[in-house]
Structure 1
Amino acid sequence: MPNTLNPLELIARRWQPSAAFVRRAALATVVMAVIIVVTGGAVRLTQSGLGCSTWPKCTPESLTPTAAMGINGLIEFGNRMLTYVLCAFIGLFIVAARARAPHRRSLTRLGWGQFWIVMGNAVWGGIVVLTGLNPYLVAAHFLLTTALLTVCVLTWQRAKEGDEEPRDLTARPVRQLAWLLVAATAALTVIGTAVTGAGPHAGDAHKVHRIPLDWQEITQLHVDFVYIVVGLSVATWFTLRAVKAPAAPRRRVLELLGCLALQGVFGYVQYFLGLPELVVGLHMFGSTLVWICVLRVLLALRDRGPVPQAADEAAEPEAAEPQQAAVASAPSR
């Protein structure tokens, strides 16, 4: 009985994407994950969280919103449809990573990891609707999307590097400082969901249960963690300079500091203006940029060699500088 090829193997026999294409496909999943966060925030800020009254249908009688539901139904349903667009981009990456020779199982596994997080979060979003926007479930819904963004960023990084054993570019205390920065930023994100859950933007025009916390106090705790993250970022940059680390990690920290400055502006503006919807949305967008930058700082502290090339393919220059080159070109001080 002849061996039966699965569809991905059949595609791999007929299509050989370039390493650059795989990188761009991975980056597209990062962009789509950010869009999902921002549009999810738009659903909440436009009071469209229950624009569709049930799940998986929009109403008990209709899969799509009706004219009587108005703009809120369209916004909520549109956000649901974006999940399919996200899955299409993830599928494109999985197919490209599988078709690329040599096959890198680590990339396809990360792609499938993205897919299953999306599927799980879609079901979780349905539970959020069926429970009338329970604030704890809404917070978990956002954190699951952040987990998706994390895997997407890791996938993007892995698409730009090889499969060698990770080689540390800095001493262990420096890496521990970077991990502390990641942990503090993660805590900042979790506290941010508590601020949102206790705040005035409940996600629907009707009375919705809120997290029973003093909004002013939890906001102050959020601000305190902002200062901790900023302090750790500055400390990381000076430490990298002191140990003469490669240029790439130092550049990643500067990018992070720039995002933190922008996010700080959004945060203070929304606080002093009474949480206008547009500025709150920009603040959510800024939170995704900060998380991406923090992850990139951590990932820049190790090297896994160049991207594997096909046997009949000339080595192509990578879009991101290989860490080995960064080590060689690091200025001495």
Structure 2
Amino acid sequence: MHAIMSKTVGAEPVNSIYQRLPSAIGARIRVVAWLSLLSEIVIVGTGGAVRLTGSGLGCPTWPNCVVGSLVPTEEMGLHGVIEFANRLMTGLIGIIAIAAVVLLWRLRRERKDLFVLAVILVGGVLAQALVGGVTVWTGLNPFIVGFHFTVSLIMVCLATVLVHRVYLAPGPRTLVVPVGFAGLAHATSFVVALTVIMGVLTTASGPHSGDADAGRTGFNAELLEHLHAWPGYATLVLTIVLLAASVGGKLPVRRFVVALLVIELVQILVGLLQANLGLPPVLVGLHMVLACVLAAAMTALVLNLKAPTGITPDDTKVIGTSELSSRRG
């Protein structure tokens, strides 16, 4: 009898917590999704600060900052503080990712797409932490540092997908733009990816290594600057074509194309300034963050090429998920 009562009493708090979790997509889940995206972009900025201030080995070991201490000691100075702050940012992103999984727990069957995305983001945080450890262990190998940044961009894109989907009902999706426009948008996304990859190689070959003793790729940085700029300009031209087609055809994705174009223009301006001013750290860091914003904008445009059957992207701004489901029904 006592055992039965103990189990019953013990189960009540668990059931109470479970009942407090969202049973439908609402404000809490959407806020966490946005926090996930914003934090994934912010950590690129903090990671850039680590690299651009020469603090890449401010904590020379991992997972401890120094041998025998999880946190930086006084001897590590400012570099240790900057590097450790970036590690703390990883912990914050992990907490946000776990919060998304918890909030979606009751919806894990009904909204399997969102739940799987949240779990992938948790796994991505863990993977990024390990890659960060390898980066330290290898003395800031430029190829691993570049891979670390590339994975961060992928995480930004995944978080963008999560934000997008918390505003849409699950189920079949159909194109809301002409097939030719969709093809051009996908081609543009490929050129954006190429631009980013060349940018990563360019940075890995430039002066900002994260530490005075860190190696470089050995590639010709000046040549890579051109190889990075060419697909960047191609992206601009393709986006202008997309804008003309979306405005002329009054397509529902035109606002996403406008946002993409504005980000590209700012990114190109910053790129030209940093190249002509001797790569000042502030501009290089801004260029890195804008690359993430560009990736998110491109992802958002591609995602909005389709909408749940019978629903346009404009509809999702004024109606909720439950109403979308009823319309689809």
Q: Verify same fold: TM over 0.5.
A: yes
Match of 1:172 in 2: 179
Contact 1:178 1:236 in 2 (8 A): yes
1:218 equivalent among 224, 247, 256: 224
Match of 1:38 in 2: 45
1:304 equivalent among 304, 308, 317: 308
Contact 1:198 1:213 in 2 (8 A): yes
Counterpart of 1:255 in structure 2: which amino acid? Answer: A
Corresponding residue SS for 1:210: coil
Match of 2:244 in 1: 238
Contact 1:161 1:306 in 2 (8 A): no
CA deviation vs aligned residue, 1:109-159 (integer Å, no higher than 9, x gap):
100000101101110110010000000000000011111111100011011
Matches within 5 A, 1:8-19: 11-16=17-22, 19=26
Match of 1:287 in 2: 291
Whole-Å separation in 2 of the counterparts to 1:321 and 1:51: 49
Answer yes or no: is 1:162 the counterpart of 2:178: no
Q: Structure 1 residues 114 and 101, CA, compared in 2 at 3 Å: closer, same or farther?
A: closer
Q: Structure 1 residues 12 and 175, CA, compared in 2 at 3 Å: closer, same or farther?
A: farther
1:194 equivalent among 189, 201, 208: 201
Contact 1:48 1:72 in 2 (8 A): yes
Pairwise CA distance, 1:173: 1.7
Answer yes or no: is 1:70 the counterpart of 2:73: no
Counterpart of 1:216 in structure 2: which amino acid? Answer: E
Pairwise CA distance, 1:244: 3.7
CA deviation vs aligned residue, 1:209-254 (integer Å, no higher than 9, x gap):
10111111100111111101101111112222344422xx001000
Match of 2:102 in 1: 95
Q: Structure 1 residues 121 and 306, CA, compared in 2 at 3 Å: closer, same or farther?
A: farther
How many residues align? The count is 311
Gaps of 5+ in 1: 308-316, 323-333
Counterpart of 1:220 in structure 2: which amino acid? Answer: H
Contact 1:8 1:99 in 2 (8 A): no
- Length-normalised TM-score, structure 2: 0.88
Corresponding residue SS for 1:57: coil
Whole-Å separation in 1 of the counterparts to 2:194 and 2:107: 38
Whole-Å separation in 2 of the counterparts to 1:320 and 1:22: 18
Answer yes or no: is 1:130 the counterpart of 2:134: no
Contact 1:30 1:152 in 2 (8 A): yes
Pairwise CA distance, 1:207: 2.3
Match of 1:263 in 2: 267
Pairwise CA distance, 1:198: 0.2
- Length-normalised TM-score, structure 1: 0.87
What is the RMSD computed on CA atoms of the aligned residues?
2.7
Match of 2:258 in 1: 254
Counterpart of 2:304 in structure 1: which amino acid? Answer: A
Q: Structure 1 residues 144 and 211, CA, compared in 2 at 3 Å: closer, same or farther?
A: same
Pairwise CA distance, 1:318: 5.6
Corresponding residue SS for 1:48: coil
Whole-Å separation in 1 of the counterparts to 2:231 and 2:34: 29
Counterpart of 1:13 in structure 2: which amino acid? Answer: Q
Match of 2:55 in 1: 48
Contact 1:8 1:95 in 2 (8 A): no
Identical positions, percent: 30
Counterpart of 1:237 in structure 2: which amino acid? Answer: L
